Structure 1
């Protein structure tokens, strides 16, 4: 079962279904879960039109997807991946509910990009079966999956998730349970420094991104990437790093805070460091 039928949850459900794993895609309302499945179908149909997939592959993938709003159906799942919004209170509430209805031997994984696995596991009666499984966005295209052990996570659980990740044609990387893990501990301070560079008037947003693309061979500039991630998500992760390490080098840039307060959240809101139609 995948909890959350948004962009990340739907992507995770798609890659499992493509490898013929039956997936229950859960959201708070059946219509939200169905919208997640519909979005997967639309994306796959575009790939068919471009000649990257066959219609039979699409039909096969969709046949392994079942939308649901019934959390009790988690009792049918061997592995559960929570992909709700990056909010610790929301995730803890979900884990409490999953713990109540899931099989005793089911693995409970979270797709969190920065929150402590040990903290989420603490609200369950099975912390040894809780693990982080951080997929990259967009999930169907990005091969990396960070696997994060909580303090109590059993070796057998880690090995099972590592094997499962490889079966998805993904590349597993192990991280210990520190704020931001590996990916966001490195990426977000770089993005934050790019925002400080703009804030202090060193260069324009366009020039900052051009330096990193042409000078450092990055496929996308850090400010454009921040817009695509969502500035609210960037701020949330910087706050996790700042609170978790207590180090001023992780202090979120005031300009990032101001943009989030203004509702300039990046591509999803139509405006961030750049404008989007």
Structure 2
């Protein structure tokens, strides 16, 4: 396998494209927005420069990596030669189902169709295609070039052959693949998101402040990043979308009901790092975490 198509040039998409290209694969990076593709290439270049500065790659590998990536704004030419398509579009069920239906028509019957979804059912996505046995989840972690884990999610009809190919492919990317069965949130987010949601409830109920909650989890549980800072890093809109999938996926179980504070912050577009404001404030020049103004005193 040499030809990979990646759909979506946002944080996850450009990271996935970067990783495949750095490991010698020819990558078609597809997005309907030309400006987004240009930003993606700039991000990949910047991240490669950081790797050079750390001494993990050479200038030659940077040049070769960038030469492996071609961009497309049209789905058809972008996927026509792909042996594997990795979808990294918005975490929206309707968008993903529509994309996979199109991919099923455009790609060959042997093309593996993978989704980087962090919570949406692979079985449901596969049902939109002609060859559900070829559909699988490849849930990369952010930042993709650095994080070792790839959750490999088997839908109800995913074949063992496709699973084996994707597991081996992840190893070729110097990742550690973990095979899991299809269920709401899979493993990573079924465990992580309720923890983040509970941290938000702890703030919402005035039990402790932003920094205090994060400090407890960092120093007491050896987490490298507190749950509220991590929520900002992931994006509060993404956190809410995943909590909603868990809530409905487990029969409207109150255990998975998103915290009202999380809902309000998403409604207000306080989404974390991507908007410059969440539980903390973010500016290009900021070097230390600063709690958002609204959280400088405990909520009552």
* TM score, norm. by length of structure 1: 0.97
Alpha-carbon distance between aligned partners in 2 of 1:272 and 1:215, rounded to the nearest angstrom: 23
Alpha-carbon distance between aligned partners in 2 of 1:157 and 1:8, rounded to the nearest angstrom: 22
1:145 aligns with 2:157: no
After TM superposition, list the pairs within 5 Å mapping 1:176-215 onto structure 2: 176-215=181-220
Structure 2 unmatched ranges of 5 or more:
284-300
Q: CA RMSD in A?
A: 1.0
Write out per-residue CA displacement over residues 195-237 of structure 1, whole angstroms, 9 at most, x where no aligned residue.
Answer: 1111111111110001001111110000000011111110110
Alpha-carbon distance between aligned partners in 2 of 1:179 and 1:242, rounded to the nearest angstrom: 9
Partner of residue 15 from structure 1, selected from 13, 19, 29:
19
Residue in structure 2 matched with residue 90 of structure 1 by the alignment = 95
Partner of residue 10 from structure 2, selected from 6, 10, 27:
6
Partner of residue 172 from structure 1, selected from 169, 177, 182:
177
1:124 aligns with 2:123: no
Partner of residue 63 from structure 2, selected from 50, 59, 62:
59
Alpha-carbon shift at residue 50 of structure 1 (Å): 4.4
1:24 aligns with 2:44: no
Residue in structure 2 matched with residue 272 of structure 1 by the alignment = 278
After TM superposition, list the pairs within 5 Å mapping 1:39-50 onto structure 2: 39-50=43-54
Alpha-carbon distance between aligned partners in 2 of 1:263 and 1:38, rounded to the nearest angstrom: 26
Alpha-carbon shift at residue 54 of structure 1 (Å): 1.5
Structure 1 unmatched ranges of 5 or more:
none
Alpha-carbon shift at residue 263 of structure 1 (Å): 1.1
Partner of residue 259 from structure 1, selected from 265, 284, 295:
265
How many residues matched? 277
Alpha-carbon shift at residue 154 of structure 1 (Å): 0.5
Q: Secondary structure at the match of 2:193?
A: helix
Alpha-carbon distance between aligned partners in 2 of 1:66 and 1:262, rounded to the nearest angstrom: 37
Alpha-carbon distance between aligned partners in 1 of 2:219 and 2:23, rounded to the nearest angstrom: 37
Alpha-carbon distance between aligned partners in 2 of 1:231 and 1:31, rounded to the nearest angstrom: 24
Alpha-carbon distance between aligned partners in 1 of 2:37 and 2:267, rounded to the nearest angstrom: 30
Q: Secondary structure at the match of 1:203?
A: coil
Which of 205-214 and 40-49 deviates more? 40-49
Structure 1 residues 22, 230: CA separation in 2 closer, same or farther (over 3 Å shift)? same
Residue in structure 1 matched with residue 234 of structure 2 by the alignment = 229
Write out per-residue CA displacement over residues 23-76 of structure 1, whole angstroms, 9 at most, x where no aligned residue.
Answer: 000111344323322221122123324444311010011111111112112111
Write out per-residue CA displacement over residues 158-200 of structure 1, whole angstroms, 9 at most, x where no aligned residue.
Answer: 0000010011010000111100000000000000000111111
Would you identify which runs of 4 or more consecutive aligned residues in structure 1 move more than 3 Å?
49-52
